């Protein structure tokens, strides 16, 4: 009964400093500023040539894929995050913002801080996404500055850019309103990686869900089903559904959608046509800005 009165805060030792957090809210606030790429790192990346930028982006992408697997497993197997974090090679974490030291301290923390560990992994993946955005911006600027303002689609470098799928696809995708095919396309917003976002739809209008650049719809009546843009249908079960191209996913989408991640997102169906979506992908999961609660989108 009085256990909470004597609960010790999470303490993280960084060099000679010890940071203490009384709640997960305080911890999340402290990590928020660490999801952006520091100016010193940007200055370093600006000096890279285009090939070095591609190599760096490829390296970050490989790390991202590993972390997606860890995060996906920790979500599907509650309580496993402590073991998964202890087994990770801490050299995979950047020194930026003291991330490596933070994760090392969390790996040693008690089991009761598992929620903090999962939150830190989510925030670190958001940092990696920010780093990829910076790399993409610098890469694009360098192509232009190298007197290539309009690359030919079949140029070797542009082909390599497209084939590697290193950088995220455009976030400017748009979809028509399902109730009015002639309506002005709605602006999509990208869901924050690793964070569950609540969506709500009505029974008669399918909920739009864009995986990478491919439009899908979730239809609730007469029974829940995911529909792709090629008239493909994928039944959804009540509760948790893992979507992606991997055969082990609950819902394995068409393998032709190459830029849909092997484990792309988790869709959890609730009552009254409510749905929770957790993005785990490289190229993003997007929803209509009118559907997602503004408070849950950064």
Q: Judge if 95 and 131 occupy the same domain.
A: yes
Asked if residue 175 has pLDDT above 90, the reply is no
pLDDT of 50: 87
Q: State the helix-helix crossing angle for 50-76 and 156-164, rounded to 10 degrees.
A: 10
Q: Which one has a higher pLDDT value, 263 or 185?
A: 263
Do 155 and 181 lie in one domain? The reply is no
> Does one domain contain both 127 and 24?
yes
Domain membership of residue 106 (yes or no) is: yes
The whole-model pTM stands at 0.74
Task: Spell out the residues 6+ positions from residue 255 whose beta carbon is closer than 8 angstroms to its own.
Answer: 245
Residues 14 and 139 in one domain: yes
Same domain, 26 and 159: yes
Structural domain total, the chain:
2
Q: Which of 27-36, 41-50, 145-154 has the lowest mean pLDDT?
A: 145-154
Which ranges of the chain does DSSP label H, i.e. alpha helix? 24-32, 39-46, 50-76, 81-87, 99-108, 114-145, 156-164
Rounded CA gap, 25 and 27, in Å?
5
What is the CATH number for 205?
2.60.200
Asked whether residue 148 falls in the same domain as residue 178, the answer is no
pLDDT (0 to 100) of residue 131:
92
Are 78 and 111 found together in one domain?
Answer: yes
State the pLDDT at residue 148: 54
Mean pLDDT of the chain: 80
pLDDT score of 20 more than 50:
yes
Report H helices in 146-253.
Answer: 156-164
Residue 274: strand pairing partners: 200
∠ CA 192-198-199 to the nearest 5 degrees?
Answer: 105
């Amino acid at each position: 009964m009085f256990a909470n009165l004597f609960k010790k805060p999470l303490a993280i030792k960084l060099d000679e400093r010890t940071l203490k957090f009384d709640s997960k809210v305080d911890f999340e606030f402290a990590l928020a500023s660490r999801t952006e790429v520091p100016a010193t790192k940007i200055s370093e990346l600006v000096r890279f040539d285009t090939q070095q930028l591609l190599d760096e982006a490829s390296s970050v992408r490989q790390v991202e894929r590993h972390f997606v697997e860890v995060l996906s497993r920790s979500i599907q197997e509650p309580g496993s995050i402590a073991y998964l974090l202890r087994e990770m090679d801490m050299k995979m974490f950047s020194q930026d913002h003291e991330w490596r030291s933070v994760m090392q301290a969390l790996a040693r923390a008690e089991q009761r801080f598992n929620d903090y560990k999962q939150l830190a992994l989510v925030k670190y993946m958001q940092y990696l996404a920010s780093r990829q955005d910076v790399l993409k911006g610098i890469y694009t600027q360098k192509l232009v500055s190298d007197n290539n303002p309009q690359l030919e689609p079949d140029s070797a470098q542009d082909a390599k850019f497209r084939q590697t799928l290193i950088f995220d696809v455009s976030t400017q995708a748009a979809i028509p309103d399902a109730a009015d095919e002639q309506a002005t396309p709605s602006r999509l917003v990208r869901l924050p990686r690793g964070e569950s976002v609540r969506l709500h739809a009505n029974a008669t209008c399918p909920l739009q869900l864009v995986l990478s650049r491919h439009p899908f719809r979730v239809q609730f009546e007469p029974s829940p089903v995911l529909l792709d843009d090629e008239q493909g249908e994928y039944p959804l079960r009540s509760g948790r559904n893992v979507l992606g191209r991997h055969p082990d996913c609950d819902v394995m989408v068409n393998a032709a959608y190459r830029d849909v991640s092997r484990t792309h997102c988790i869709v959890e169906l609730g009552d009254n046509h409510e749905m929770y979506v957790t993005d785990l992908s490289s190229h993003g999961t997007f929803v209509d800005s009118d559907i997602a609660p503004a408070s849950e989108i950064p």
